[in-house]
Amino acid sequence: ATPRSSARQLVREALERYGLNPDDFGQFALCDVVGRPGGGGTAGGAWQGEHLREVGDWERPLVLQELWKPKAGWSRRFEIRRRQDLEKAGDGDDGDTAGERGQPPKVAPRGWRRGWQRSGGG
């Protein structure tokens, strides 16, 4: 992967690497997840994702990673999720993206991206 790799390209590569059909990339989305260690920040606590945003197919995740750093005590990781699961999680969403402890993070509504500068280059 390079800074010029799109989210779509990264999903295809990951599917291929894990022995899945890379032509099924349309069923999956790359998600930008921000969270922190569970258990009150102790070293042994499991990582807890609290904010999730679907990355646009043509956005460049490595550029996002470089330009937007999480605040102290938080970290970011990219996860591949099934689009149908994201759609289910987004149903009835009130726009609050913070997940409750022990619950999966809520998915940001598609309009949430408006406030973000696009990372697609160009």
Domains and CATH numbers, the chain: 7-91 (3.10.20.90)
Residue 100 has pLDDT above 70, yes or no: no
Top mean-pLDDT range of 57-61, 64-68, 108-112, 116-120 = 57-61
pTM for the complete prediction? 0.68
pLDDT level of residue 110 (50, 70, 90 thresholds)? very low
**Tens digit of each residue's pLDDT (9 = 90 or more) over 7-56:** 999 999 999 999 999 999 999 999 999 998 875 555 567 888 899 999 99
Instruction: Identify the pLDDT of residue 15.
Output: 95
Q: 10 with 25: CB under 8 angstroms? A: no
State how far the Cα of 16 lies from the Cα of 104, in Å rounded to an integer: 26
